[in-house]
Amino acid sequence: MDKNYLRLPDYLKRPIASLDNKENKSVRNILSKYNLNTVCDNARCPNKTACYGCLTATFLIMGKICTRNCRFCNINGGVPEPLDINEPKNVANAIEELNLKYVVITSTTRDDIPDGGAEHFKQTIDEIRKKSSSIKIEILTPDFLGNKNSFCTILKSKPDVFNHNMETVPRLYKIARPKADYIRSLNVLSYIKENNPEIITKTGIMVGLGETKDEIIQTMKDILNSKVDILTIGQYIRPSKLHLKVDRYYKEEEFEELKNIALELGFKGVVSAPLARSSYMAAETYNAVKNSKQ
């Protein structure tokens, strides 16, 4: 056994979703019917059991292969397949069958496409809107290499929440996400808010990669300077032995402390918990922030 291996604490363990569970079967059948991917499966999200049990999922569009291959992420890197032109309608159909009122759409990073897949994102949002104008849509996008035209394309469809994750502190970018850029990601968030003041913006970071508390707080301040409304903070969990090792597991009370710091700094909504992920409590946080603005 790896001498540096850290045993997963009990509070981070979750049961594997049962294939015999009625709700689980229903979600899987609908996803299979429309040939759709979810971040729940592809990124090995620890909250999959809870989400599938509530007849929901976070949709992963633009294929299973990412062009970035970040060292913390379980989604495979490599050469992606062409976009599925039927995917936007299939996502909308699945959402209708699941009777979702709030949806989260994310994607692989597609640096191989000129617009990064922005038009595909837009088409997906448009197809969902055709089904129901009342559905709230949160998108979690890549950085599109900073291409402002790509952001403008997506924003034409007016998503309710625009999320782009910072993931970690700047010092760890070279080892965790070497093809990304800290300043570029901050600029993405700034650009969205500056050009669409009414849209709710959101980002997330992981802890447990070797960052210090001071670095976390400075990253929070940087994010807040980009006028971000919602921050999520969760524990990094190593997907496999091929991924970055966990430096340490934060205690539950530490997540509560980070939440309080973030709120004191001025974030309108904060989700900070060991198993918090981008879509964790997404609808509840959106509603709380939206109501606070009224």
Domain boundaries, the chain: 15-159, 166-181+188-294
Pick the CATH number of 166-181+188-294 from 3.30.750, 2.60.40, 3.40.50, 3.90.1690: 3.30.750
Cβ atoms 173, 181 nearer than 8 A: yes
| Exposed / middle / buried, residue 241 (Cβ in 10 Å: 0-12, 13-18, 19+) | exposed
C-alpha pair distances (Å), 167 with each of 10, 52, 176:
24, 25, 9
| CA pair distance 268, 286, nearest whole angstrom | 10
Q: What is the mean pLDDT of each run of 10 residues along the chain (294 residues)?
A: 66 61 75 84 48 61 90 85 96 93 93 97 97 94 97 96 97 94 98 95 97 98 98 92 91 97 98 91 92 78
| CA pair distance 19, 7, nearest whole angstrom | 27
The pTM for the full model equals 0.90
| CA pair distance 241, 80, nearest whole angstrom | 24
Show the tokens assigned to 250.
Answer: 């934060």
Cβ atoms 167, 205 nearer than 8 A: yes
With CA atoms as reference, report the closest residue to 185 among 68, 98, 99.
Answer: 68
| Exposed / middle / buried, residue 131 (Cβ in 10 Å: 0-12, 13-18, 19+) | middle
State the first-to-last Cα distance of the chain, in angstroms, to the nearest integer.
55
How would you classify the pairing of strands 37-38 and 59-61? antiparallel
With CA atoms as reference, report the closest residue to 176 among 205, 201, 147.
Answer: 205
H-assigned helices in 69-160: 87-98, 118-131, 148-155
C-alpha pair distances (Å), 246 with each of 67, 101, 241, 243, 268:
24, 36, 10, 9, 29
Residue 27 has what pLDDT? 80
- Vertex 183: Cα angle to 158 and 264 (nearest 5): 75
What does the DSSP assignment read for 184-246?
Answer: HHHHHHHHHHHH-TTSEEEEEEEE-SS--HHHHHHHHHHHHHTT--EEEEEE----STTSPPP
